[in-house]
Amino acid sequence: MKNSETLLLEVDSDGKEYHLTLMDGSKWSVNPGDLPTIATWIPTANIKIKALKDDSVFSYCLTNLDDDIAILAMKIN
């Protein structure tokens, strides 16, 4: 996936993990250390997706451009 921008559709939880769903249809699992950060994110926030050049599980950086705060995430679909 190339670097891109889209909008946040929703933040949801299955009780164990938090996920972000973006307007482009992608769904993301959030690094547990970033859960307090995404709790403040609201739908329609502008999100920049950047692939990181490493082999970690959370190999993407998602930046909320509305407040300039970034988190680590893993694409799940």
For the chain, the domains span 4-75
pLDDT > 60? residue 71 = yes
Q: In the prediction, which pLDDT does 5 show?
A: 94
Segment 9-33 shows an average pLDDT of 91
pLDDT > 90? residue 9 = yes
- In which residue are the tokens 């998602």 written? 62
The confidence band for 77, taking pLDDT boundaries of 50, 70 and 90, is confident
pLDDT tens-digit profile of 41-70?
999 999 999 999 878 899 999 999 999 999
Q: DSSP labels for 49-61? A: EEE-SS--SS-EE
